[in-house]
Every structure is written in C-alpha cells, then in structure tokens.
Amino acid sequence: MIVQEGRLIPFVEYLERARPQRERPVIWHSRDIWAAANEHGGHARGSVALTRDSAADKTAIAPGLSLTAQIVEPGTHAPVHSHSFWHLYFVQRGEGHIAIDSERDLQSLHTGDWLFVPAWCVHAIDNRAGTVPLELIVLQNLPQNAALGNLARADQDKPIQLTYSAS
C-alpha cells in the first residue's frame, strides 16, 4: 500500500471545511418509484434505491440511511440471510410473510404493517403463497455501515462475506 504525505491546515480552515453543506429538498413521486421498481424486476435484495445526487453520499436518502422500494413477486422469496445493518420495513401493498431465525418461523405481513429487523437478525421476505406482488419500503442504515468499512452479509449456512471492509 502506498502511504501518502499528510497535510496541515489551520484549525479555522478545518472548521470551515467541516461545515455541513446546505441540503436541498428532494421529492420522489410514487408513480415513478413503483414504475422503476417494476421495470427492474422483483429482485430478492431490493428493486430500486431512492438517492439524492446533491448529497455528499449519493447512496443515502439522509445521512447514513438508505431507502429502497422492493417488490417481491408472487411465488418468490428471498434467501434466508443476515447482515451488519438493520431494516425498517413498511408494507406498502400486498400480503406475505417474513421468516425470522429460520424458514419455519413465518410472521404474516399485511398492507400498512411496519417491521424492524435488527442487524444480524436472520430473516427472509416470503411471497410464495401470494397472488399479488408484495411492495415494501425499506429504510436501512446500510450507507453508515459502508462508510465505516463494516458492510457484511451472511447467507444461510455460509460464512460472513465482507462487501466493504476497512482493509
């Protein structure tokens, strides 16, 4: 690894550089979100992420947080997994299940439900019994974990895989 020379600046300049940039409001229209989610398919790990090009972190909807619109098509499910960030799910439309700790422990999900899944909690969204797409809005602290070099995932019966690590 190449080591670079550090730089010294006056503390008043440091404070000026650290000053937060003024944020601009952003709007995402529901019709555009779900049209894009449908266009990109019902991928098990999320369909589309809402982003802000004007933000310092272009993956975050707010500092350290990301928001995705996820569609789980009828007859499909995500594999059982866990990861270093938490999820806060909102069921926008449809019904389905979430497996917590194992594929046998299914909890029902209905339109309007909220569900918090802590970091490293084994889980999987399941719509195998569904007749309509399950539409989810998912808030998560994934950008925070990535920025800390701590983004990791473990699929069922597999070792932890670092997506982004500090090394």
Q: What is the residue range of 55's domain?
A: 27-138
Instruction: Establish if 57 belongs to a structural domain.
Output: yes
pLDDT of amino acid 28: 93
Q: Which CATH number characterizes residue 111's domain?
A: 2.60.120.10
pLDDT of amino acid 44: 59
What one-character DSSP code corresponds to residue 137?
E
Instruction: Establish if 74 belongs to a structural domain.
Output: yes
Cβ(139)–Cβ(65) under 8 Å? yes
109, two tokens: 């999900």
How many structural domains compose the chain? 1
The C-alpha angle with vertex 90 and arms to 88 and 93, in degrees rounded to 5, equals: 155
Instruction: Establish if 165 belongs to a structural domain.
Output: no
CA 138 to CA 61: how far, in whole Å? 11
CA 143 to CA 29: how far, in whole Å? 23
Q: Give pLDDT tens digits for 71-100.
A: 999 999 888 999 999 999 999 999 999 999
Low-confidence ranges of the chain (pLDDT < 70): 42-46, 164-167
Instruction: Establish if 45 belongs to a structural domain.
Output: yes
CA 152 to CA 35: how far, in whole Å? 30
Amino acid identity of residue 69, one-letter, is: A
Q: Put the strands of the sheet holding 106-109 in their side by side order.
A: 106-109, 96-100, 123-126, 81-83, 150-155, 161-165
**Does the model's pTM come out above 0.85?**
no
pLDDT of amino acid 43: 57
pLDDT of amino acid 167: 56
